[in-house]
């Protein structure tokens, strides 16, 4: 039996988890999805767009109602702060609320709203943690309005990135700098804080965006790291010629070259990386792109991901040689090493799943997340819930309500134990 | 010895051919290429664009200087008329002056300018032919601004096509109707004539746009017909999914489907058509065309040409079944049966080459030409000069000057004999 004023800390975590309110959590997801709602049920909410600013105002109002303070920083990240009993570095959670142009309701938003639900649950349970708890909303994670993605979290951990980011322009030529100016006018009165203060830990809850949990029939995923990635662009040069007059043996069709190169690259990736290989040829540009002209130029992108840094390095070496054999030009666009999350935070996630009697799978994230950068700042790990049919970046993105609630309970448990360290 | 007033008709043809002025012809090609000149030496002159209207004004001025009258019609075709001694149906020649977006100086333009050079040569030689000679400039042959191509010549032979053509819109949404309105304002005072009057013959001089003459080392090609054609669009449907999270075996990548279908279609075309097969996959559209999303939709075009109508029909039958096997949708875009040119006009071309002691090859055109439609209106044939490296629809399009001059001389000979029928 517990008496008022004599909290048992392990009980705090279980009580916080139990106080997660499923109706309130699910309603908060629907409420946020109204900002930038698409007619097909999806969401289109570019970073720092008018709808994003309205969504932020909505969340700031909710944070104030929870008794939290809200601050911002140079990259428009928002920090929703629930005080602790001590002035120790906070435990952080959160994610992002910008979406793909035809995105869903959960990617990013779920992690932010589950974090706020944890604060509401702690309030309801009358728990005052030792450390503060902070929900972060990271700016422009998707990278579809401004490149690169994860701007907010990467600028948080490395503020020297900001001067370059300020010049990044969207498709209409609006720079991040101009969008930030508009943000400061739209949400006045938010205190801005300087460089990132120390944090005790960061835990990001997210939908899996893949099929592994669903296939395994397991409701929670403890994410041990993030795959490394290589982005390349390949350019194949042919000769534009008339479709009707050029005999087949005389043609130098850039698409024929590109299709052969694509097959070679996929074979290399598969032979190097085995079943963990993810290789995608997502973006194509064909010139002159005319029915009756043989293509002279084809450019295509390669996205290669693997959890093993050695495999990524070998891929780098082999694709250069492969491009040369095919007479293609190669341009590296982006690279990120694999990330290993913190063993101590992973152990707290294990303990939470155990305490809630929720089966959990250990897995590697195939997608980037803000946690990729936060892991450079403080002990970090992630928790996943299943994605129905593995679908994400799509209006059809969905997760069963019981999984959404269970994920929020496991997050509440984990954050509470970390806050009481 | 010839005396004034007692022309020997065969001598007229030789004298007209001899009066072709190489410097004037080559200068006229450069002068026309200045309208819409590209920095890479090519030409970009969309049909009825501002540069096309300026080019037309330039040619109308030159026609008047030659003593010709100029009329137009409902599709903005221009008719440059050199009177004959009788009011008999004219002999027609000409081609088009619109270009591909990255086109060359010769495709179409050469036929128009060689026709005007024949008129100048007849003037210089003091020859009055029995029949009038008419140089036509056909509107929108390339079909890259407004679809379909060969609008002007097809509307000339079949005016009932015009109402549909008027609604054809370019990439900016400007209709042919609106472009014609602008044309009539830009070139006022050109008398418009009604439905196509009878013609005695049509002869179109053109660059080959392929390598056959060059490979054979022969300076002139007598074109006995035009390959038939099928244009299709194929659509492959996949599922958009996250590049980092979706295991390879679970993917349904629309580009993977499209690449396999492309290979099957090429195999069908080759097995049906043998060495005469021309198959081109020129236009591609990939959705969502994002580096880190698996393609959900790929659409590509097929241009298949063959001189044998039975092969084209068999292709129609087999591609439908092939699309079904691959789970793809198929949409026919355009079809045209093979064309056989007129034996009498071909004999006149033979005679001209013989008289000029110029070796000639008989061949089939792989490209469409306005002559394809004119052959429905009057006895028609074509004459080709070589294309260097077989290249066309490209700024590098070129023909040796001596071949350009020889082609114009053979045209002058042929037109003169036809005009004296």
Closest chain B residue to the Cα of A228, Cα to Cα: B244
Q: How far is A175 from chain B, CA to nearest CA, in Å?
A: 21
User: Please, what CATH class does the domain formed by A229-336 belong to?
Assistant: alpha beta
| Interchain CB distance below 8 Å, B291 and A284 | no
Chain B residue numbers touching A275 (CB-CB < 8 A): 247
B247 touches chain A (CB under 8 A): yes
* A332 contacts chain B (CB < 8 A): no
Beta bridge partners of A141: none
Q: Which residues are bridge partners to A340 per DSSP?
A: A225
Radius of gyration of chain B (CA): 23
Residue A83 has pLDDT above 70, yes or no: yes
Q: A20-24, A66-70, A133-137, B193-197: lowest mean pLDDT where?
A: B193-197
Chain B residues with CB under 8 Å of A294 CB are 280, 282
Pairing of strands A380-385, A201-207: parallel
Count Cβ–Cβ pairs < 8 Å, chain A vs chain B: 196
Asked whether the beta carbons of B136 and B94 are under 8 A apart, the reply is yes
Q: What's the confidence (pLDDT) of residue B175? A: 97
Q: Is B171 on the interface with A (CB under 8 A)?
A: no
Region(s) of chain A under CATH 3.40.630.10: 9-226+339-419
Q: What percent of chain B has pLDDT over 70?
A: 98
Is residue A3's pLDDT more than 50? no
For domain A9-226+339-419, give the CATH number.
3.40.630.10
User: For residues A280 and A283, what is the distance between their CA atoms, to the nearest angstrom?
Assistant: 9
Examine the pLDDT at A167 and tell me if it is beyond 90: yes
- Tell me, yes or no, if B243 comes closer than 8 A to chain A by beta carbon: yes
pLDDT in tens, B131-158: 999 999 999 999 889 988 999 999 999 9
Is residue B142 a known part of a binding site?
Answer: yes
Is the pLDDT at B2 greater than 80? The verdict is: no
pLDDT band at residue B290 using 50, 70 and 90 as cut-offs: confident
Answer whether B259 touches A (CB < 8 Å): yes
Beta-strand runs (E) in B112-255 = 133-138, 201-207, 220-226, 228-237
Give the C-alpha separation, A344 to A359, whole Å: 19
User: Per-residue pLDDT tens for A387-421?
Assistant: 999 988 889 999 999 999 999 999 999 999 999 99
Residue A323 has pLDDT above 70, yes or no: yes
Place of tokens 């005319």: A290
Is the CB of B246 less than 8 angstroms away from the CB of A210?
yes
What is the average per-residue pLDDT within B24-33?
98
Q: At residue B292, does pLDDT exceed 90?
A: no
pLDDT in tens, A241-293: 889 989 999 999 999 999 999 999 999 999 999 999 999 999 999 998 989 88
pLDDT at B240: 87
3-state secondary structure A205-236: EEECCCCHHHHHCCCEEEEEEECEEEEEEEEE
> Which band of pLDDT confidence, cut at 50, 70 and 90, is reported for residue B8?
low
Question: B101: distance to nearest CA of chain A, Å?
Answer: 8
**Interface mutation target, options B271, B280, B281, B297, chain A, most CBs of A under 10 Å:** B280
Which of B148, B229, B243 is the best residue to mutate to test the A interface, defined by the most A CB atoms within 10 Å of its own CB? Answer: B243
Contact list in B for residue A283 (CB cut-off 8 A) is 286, 289-291
CB contact under 8 A, A239 and B394: yes
Residue A411 to residues A14, A111, A384, Cα–Cα distance (Å) = 11, 9, 10
* CB B90 within 8 Å of CB B81: yes
B266 has binding-site annotation: no
Residues 6+ apart with CB under 8 A from B235: B297, B298, B299, B328, B329, B330, B331
A305 to B244: CB separation less than 8 angstroms, yes or no: yes
**Cβ–Cβ contacts within 10 Å for residue A217, how many?**
9
- Which pLDDT score, from 0 to 100, does residue A1 have? 34
- The reply to whether B293 touches chain A by the CB within 8 Å rule is yes
Residue B262 to chain A, least CA–CA distance (Å): 10
B126 pLDDT higher than 60: yes
Tokens found for residue A309: 């840094």
Q: Which of B298, B278, B169, B231 is nearest to A286 (CA)?
A: B298
How does the average pLDDT of chain B come out, rounded?
Answer: 95
- What angle (nearest 5°) sits at the alpha carbon of residue A112, between those of residues A385 and A308? 50
pLDDT higher than 60, residue B355: yes
How many beta carbons lie within 10 A of that of residue B303, not counting itself?
A: 24
Tell me the per-residue pLDDT of A184-242, one tens digit each, with 9 for 90 and over.
999 999 999 988 999 999 999 999 999 999 999 999 999 999 999 999 999 999 998 88
**Residue A413 in marked binding region:** no
At B329 the three-state DSSP class reads strand
Provide CATH code, domain B9-227+339-419.
Answer: 3.40.630.10
Residue B4 has pLDDT above 60, yes or no: no
- Residue B206 assigned ligand-binding role: yes
Residue B6 pLDDT class (50, 70, 90 cuts): very low
Q: Give start-end residues of each CATH 3.30.70.360 domain in chain A.
A: 229-336
Mean pLDDT, residues B345-363 taken together:
97
Residues of B in contact with A253 (CB under 8 A): 280-281
For residue A332, give how far its alpha carbon lies from the nearest alpha carbon of chain B (Å): 13
pLDDT of A319 > 70? The answer is yes
Specify the CATH number of the domain B228-336. 3.30.70.360
Q: β-strands B220-226, B380-385: how paired?
A: antiparallel
Instruction: Write out the residue limits of the CATH 3.40.630.10 domain(s) in chain B.
Output: 9-227+339-419
Instruction: Determine if residue A403 is labeled as part of a ligand binding site.
Output: no
Whole-angstrom distance, CA of residue B367 vs CA of residue A352: 71
């Amino acid at each position: 039996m517990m008496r008022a004023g004599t909290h048992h800390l392990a009980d705090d975590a279980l009580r916080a988890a139990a106080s997660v309110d499923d109706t309130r959590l699910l309603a908060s997801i629907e409420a946020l999805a109204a900002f930038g709602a698409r007619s097909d049920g999806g969401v289109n909410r570019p970073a720092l767009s008018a709808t994003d600013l309205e969504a932020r105002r909505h969340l700031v109002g909710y944070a104030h109602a929870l008794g939290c303070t809200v601050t911002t920083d140079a990259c428009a990240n928002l920090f929703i702060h629930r005080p602790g009993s001590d002035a120790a570095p906070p435990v952080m959670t959160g994610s992002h609320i910008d979406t793909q142009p035809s995105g869903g309701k959960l990617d990013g938003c779920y992690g932010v709203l589950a974090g706020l639900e944890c604060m509401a649950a702690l309030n309801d349970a009358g728990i005052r943690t030792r450390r503060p708890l902070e929900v972060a909303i990271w700016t422009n994670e998707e990278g579809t309005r401004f490149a690169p993605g994860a701007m907010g979290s990467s600028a948080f951990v490395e503020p020297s990135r900001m001067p370059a980011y300020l010049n990044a322009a969207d498709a209409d030529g609006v720079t991040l700098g101009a969008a930030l100016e508009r943000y400061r006018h739209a949400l006045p009165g938010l205190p801005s804080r300087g460089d990132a203060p120390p944090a005790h830990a960061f835990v990001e809850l997210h939908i899996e965006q893949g099929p592994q949990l669903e296939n395994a029939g397991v409701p929670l995923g403890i994410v041990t790291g993030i795959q490394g990635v290589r982005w390349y662009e390949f350019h194949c040069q042919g000769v534009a010629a008339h479709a009707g007059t050029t005999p087949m043996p005389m043609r130098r069709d850039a698409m024929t070259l590109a299709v052969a190169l694509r097959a070679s690259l996929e074979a290399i990736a598969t032979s190097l990386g085995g079943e963990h290989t993810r290789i995608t040829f997502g973006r194509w540009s064909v010139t002159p792109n005319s029915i009756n002209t043989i293509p002279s130029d084809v450019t295509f992108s390669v996205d290669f991901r693997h959890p093993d840094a050695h495999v990524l390095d070998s891929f780098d070496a082999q694709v250069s040689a492969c491009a040369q054999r095919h007479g293609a030009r190669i341009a590296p666009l982006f690279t990120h090493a694999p990330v290993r999350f913190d063993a101590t935070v992973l152990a707290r996630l294990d303990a939470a799943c155990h305490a809630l009697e929720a089966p959990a799978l250990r897995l590697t994230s195939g997608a980037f997340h803000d946690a990729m950068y936060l892991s450079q700042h403080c002990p970090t790990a992630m928790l996943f819930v299943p994605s129905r049919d593995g679908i994400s970046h799509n209006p059809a993105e969905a997760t069963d309500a019981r999984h959404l609630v269970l994920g929020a309970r496991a997050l509440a448990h984990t954050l509470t134990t970390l806050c009481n360290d």
